[in-house]
Structure 1
Amino acid sequence: MIKQGIEIEHAAALLKLLGDKTRLTMVKILADHDCCVCEFVEIFDTSQPAISQHIRKLKDAGLVKESRRGQWIFYSLNQEYEQFDFVQLLLNALPSQEEKLTELEKQGKRISCE
Protein backbone atom coordinates (compact mmCIF):
# COMPACT_ATOMS: atom_id res chain seq x y z
CA MET A 1 0.00 0.00 0.00
CA ILE A 2 1.35 3.42 -0.94
CA LYS A 3 1.06 5.91 1.86
CA GLN A 4 -0.54 9.19 0.83
CA GLY A 5 1.18 12.19 2.35
CA ILE A 6 1.93 12.57 6.03
CA GLU A 7 -0.44 12.54 8.98
CA ILE A 8 -1.02 15.92 10.62
CA GLU A 9 0.33 14.67 13.98
CA HIS A 10 3.58 13.49 12.37
CA ALA A 11 3.94 16.69 10.38
CA ALA A 12 3.35 18.84 13.48
CA ALA A 13 5.93 16.90 15.52
CA LEU A 14 8.49 17.06 12.72
CA LEU A 15 7.90 20.76 12.10
CA LYS A 16 8.26 21.42 15.83
CA LEU A 17 11.58 19.54 15.83
CA LEU A 18 12.79 21.48 12.79
CA GLY A 19 11.31 24.75 14.06
CA ASP A 20 14.58 25.41 15.85
CA LYS A 21 16.93 27.35 13.54
CA THR A 22 20.02 25.47 14.68
CA ARG A 23 18.47 22.03 14.16
CA LEU A 24 17.02 23.03 10.80
CA THR A 25 20.43 24.30 9.67
CA MET A 26 22.09 21.13 10.94
CA VAL A 27 19.68 18.96 8.97
CA LYS A 28 20.24 21.04 5.83
CA ILE A 29 24.01 20.61 6.20
CA LEU A 30 23.63 16.88 6.90
CA ALA A 31 21.60 16.46 3.72
CA ASP A 32 24.87 16.89 1.79
CA HIS A 33 27.69 16.21 4.28
CA ASP A 34 28.39 13.96 7.23
CA CYS A 35 29.53 16.03 10.20
CA CYS A 36 31.02 15.57 13.62
CA VAL A 37 29.77 17.39 16.73
CA CYS A 38 33.02 19.37 16.85
CA GLU A 39 32.32 20.78 13.38
CA PHE A 40 28.87 21.95 14.45
CA VAL A 41 30.42 23.53 17.57
CA GLU A 42 32.62 25.63 15.25
CA ILE A 43 29.86 26.39 12.71
CA PHE A 44 27.38 27.58 15.33
CA ASP A 45 29.97 28.96 17.76
CA THR A 46 28.25 27.26 20.66
CA SER A 47 29.09 24.69 23.32
CA GLN A 48 29.54 20.99 22.71
CA PRO A 49 26.77 20.09 25.21
CA ALA A 50 24.31 22.39 23.38
CA ILE A 51 25.15 20.81 20.02
CA SER A 52 24.92 17.32 21.52
CA GLN A 53 21.41 18.13 22.79
CA HIS A 54 20.32 19.15 19.29
CA ILE A 55 21.85 16.00 17.81
CA ARG A 56 20.19 13.84 20.46
CA LYS A 57 16.76 15.25 19.61
CA LEU A 58 17.32 14.64 15.89
CA LYS A 59 18.61 11.13 16.58
CA ASP A 60 15.76 10.27 18.97
CA ALA A 61 13.30 11.23 16.23
CA GLY A 62 15.15 8.97 13.78
CA LEU A 63 15.98 11.81 11.41
CA VAL A 64 19.74 11.57 11.98
CA LYS A 65 21.97 8.52 12.28
CA GLU A 66 25.53 8.10 13.47
CA SER A 67 28.53 6.12 12.34
CA ARG A 68 31.85 5.65 14.08
CA ARG A 69 35.05 6.37 12.18
CA GLY A 70 37.98 5.59 14.40
CA GLN A 71 37.60 7.67 17.53
CA TRP A 72 35.06 10.03 15.96
CA ILE A 73 31.32 9.78 15.54
CA PHE A 74 29.88 11.31 12.39
CA TYR A 75 26.25 12.17 11.86
CA SER A 76 24.27 12.00 8.64
CA LEU A 77 20.69 12.41 7.51
CA ASN A 78 18.81 9.12 7.77
CA GLN A 79 17.39 8.55 4.30
CA GLU A 80 15.42 5.58 5.69
CA TYR A 81 13.49 7.95 7.97
CA GLU A 82 9.76 7.31 7.59
CA GLN A 83 8.98 10.93 6.65
CA PHE A 84 12.16 11.50 4.62
CA ASP A 85 10.23 12.63 1.51
CA PHE A 86 8.51 15.34 3.55
CA VAL A 87 11.83 16.45 5.05
CA GLN A 88 13.40 16.52 1.58
CA LEU A 89 10.62 18.83 0.35
CA LEU A 90 11.38 21.22 3.20
CA LEU A 91 15.14 21.08 2.63
CA ASN A 92 14.78 21.68 -1.10
CA ALA A 93 13.07 24.99 -0.31
CA LEU A 94 15.99 26.18 1.86
CA PRO A 95 19.15 27.97 0.73
CA SER A 96 22.41 26.03 0.57
CA GLN A 97 24.56 26.02 3.69
CA GLU A 98 27.75 25.18 1.78
CA GLU A 99 29.40 28.46 2.78
CA LYS A 100 29.42 27.35 6.42
CA LEU A 101 31.48 24.27 5.57
CA THR A 102 33.65 26.18 3.11
CA GLU A 103 34.49 28.70 5.83
CA LEU A 104 35.27 25.85 8.24
CA GLU A 105 37.65 24.35 5.66
CA LYS A 106 39.36 27.73 5.14
CA GLN A 107 39.96 27.92 8.90
CA GLY A 108 41.39 24.39 8.86
CA LYS A 109 38.64 23.18 11.17
CA ARG A 110 36.64 20.93 8.86
CA ILE A 111 37.37 17.87 10.98
CA SER A 112 38.80 19.12 14.24
CA CYS A 113 37.93 16.30 16.63
CA GLU A 114 40.75 15.64 19.07
Structure 2
Amino acid sequence: MNRCYVEKRVWQDPEKLTDYTCLYRQLEVAEAPEFGAEMMDGRWYSGPLTFVVWNPEDESFKCRVDDETPCTDANYDYSHEFLVENALQQGWHICERSEVEIVH
Protein backbone atom coordinates (compact mmCIF):
# COMPACT_ATOMS: atom_id res chain seq x y z
CA MET A 1 0.00 0.00 0.00
CA ASN A 2 1.10 3.56 -0.71
CA ARG A 3 0.51 6.30 1.85
CA CYS A 4 -0.71 9.54 0.25
CA TYR A 5 -1.25 13.08 1.49
CA VAL A 6 -3.55 15.01 -0.89
CA GLU A 7 -3.84 18.79 -0.55
CA LYS A 8 -6.00 21.50 -2.08
CA ARG A 9 -6.64 25.17 -1.38
CA VAL A 10 -9.95 26.98 -1.20
CA TRP A 11 -9.32 30.64 -1.93
CA GLN A 12 -11.34 33.44 -0.37
CA ASP A 13 -11.66 35.30 -3.68
CA PRO A 14 -11.90 34.22 -7.34
CA GLU A 15 -8.66 36.02 -8.32
CA LYS A 16 -6.60 34.16 -5.68
CA LEU A 17 -5.35 37.47 -4.26
CA THR A 18 -6.31 36.97 -0.61
CA ASP A 19 -5.90 34.18 1.90
CA TYR A 20 -7.01 30.58 1.43
CA THR A 21 -7.97 27.58 3.52
CA CYS A 22 -5.64 24.63 3.09
CA LEU A 23 -7.38 21.23 3.10
CA TYR A 24 -5.91 17.73 3.09
CA ARG A 25 -6.89 14.10 2.97
CA GLN A 26 -4.68 11.16 3.94
CA LEU A 27 -5.26 7.72 2.50
CA GLU A 28 -3.58 4.53 1.39
CA VAL A 29 -3.89 3.28 -2.17
CA ALA A 30 -2.76 0.05 -3.82
CA GLU A 31 -1.00 1.72 -6.78
CA ALA A 32 1.33 4.71 -6.73
CA PRO A 33 -0.52 7.92 -7.66
CA GLU A 34 0.19 9.47 -11.06
CA PHE A 35 -0.13 13.00 -12.41
CA GLY A 36 -3.58 13.49 -13.96
CA ALA A 37 -5.04 10.38 -12.32
CA GLU A 38 -7.70 10.46 -9.65
CA MET A 39 -7.71 8.71 -6.28
CA MET A 40 -10.73 7.35 -4.47
CA ASP A 41 -11.57 6.14 -1.00
CA GLY A 42 -15.08 4.70 -0.80
CA ARG A 43 -17.33 7.40 -2.25
CA TRP A 44 -14.65 10.12 -2.00
CA TYR A 45 -12.82 11.19 -5.16
CA SER A 46 -9.79 13.48 -5.17
CA GLY A 47 -10.21 15.07 -8.56
CA PRO A 48 -7.33 14.95 -11.06
CA LEU A 49 -3.88 15.13 -9.45
CA THR A 50 -1.94 18.23 -10.54
CA PHE A 51 1.22 17.45 -8.57
CA VAL A 52 2.73 14.18 -7.30
CA VAL A 53 6.06 13.74 -5.52
CA TRP A 54 7.55 10.95 -3.40
CA ASN A 55 8.72 12.02 0.06
CA PRO A 56 11.42 9.57 1.18
CA GLU A 57 11.54 11.01 4.71
CA ASP A 58 8.11 9.69 5.66
CA GLU A 59 7.76 7.25 2.76
CA SER A 60 4.59 8.80 1.36
CA PHE A 61 3.37 10.59 -1.73
CA LYS A 62 2.54 14.30 -1.51
CA CYS A 63 -0.15 15.28 -4.02
CA ARG A 64 -2.16 18.34 -5.02
CA VAL A 65 -5.46 18.77 -6.79
CA ASP A 66 -6.96 21.88 -8.38
CA ASP A 67 -7.68 24.80 -6.10
CA GLU A 68 -11.26 25.93 -5.60
CA THR A 69 -12.40 29.53 -5.81
CA PRO A 70 -15.71 31.15 -4.86
CA CYS A 71 -18.15 31.80 -7.68
CA THR A 72 -21.68 33.04 -8.12
CA ASP A 73 -24.18 32.47 -10.90
CA ALA A 74 -27.86 33.29 -11.37
CA ASN A 75 -28.96 30.45 -9.09
CA TYR A 76 -26.16 29.74 -6.62
CA ASP A 77 -23.56 31.45 -4.47
CA TYR A 78 -20.56 29.19 -3.88
CA SER A 79 -18.82 31.26 -1.21
CA HIS A 80 -15.51 30.37 0.43
CA GLU A 81 -17.41 29.23 3.52
CA PHE A 82 -19.73 27.02 1.46
CA LEU A 83 -16.83 25.40 -0.42
CA VAL A 84 -14.88 24.69 2.78
CA GLU A 85 -17.92 23.27 4.58
CA ASN A 86 -18.76 21.09 1.56
CA ALA A 87 -15.18 19.77 1.42
CA LEU A 88 -15.21 18.97 5.16
CA GLN A 89 -18.42 17.00 4.69
CA GLN A 90 -16.70 15.08 1.89
CA GLY A 91 -13.89 14.00 4.23
CA TRP A 92 -11.25 16.70 3.74
CA HIS A 93 -9.57 18.17 6.85
CA ILE A 94 -8.21 21.65 7.53
CA CYS A 95 -4.39 21.83 7.43
CA GLU A 96 -2.53 23.23 10.38
CA ARG A 97 -0.72 26.35 9.18
CA SER A 98 2.41 25.08 10.91
CA GLU A 99 2.48 22.06 8.55
CA VAL A 100 4.69 22.28 5.52
CA GLU A 101 2.46 22.96 2.55
CA ILE A 102 3.13 21.62 -0.90
CA VAL A 103 4.22 24.29 -3.35
CA HIS A 104 4.35 23.87 -7.08
Q: Specify which structure has the higher proportion of helix.
A: 1
Q: Specify which structure has the higher proportion of strand.
A: 2
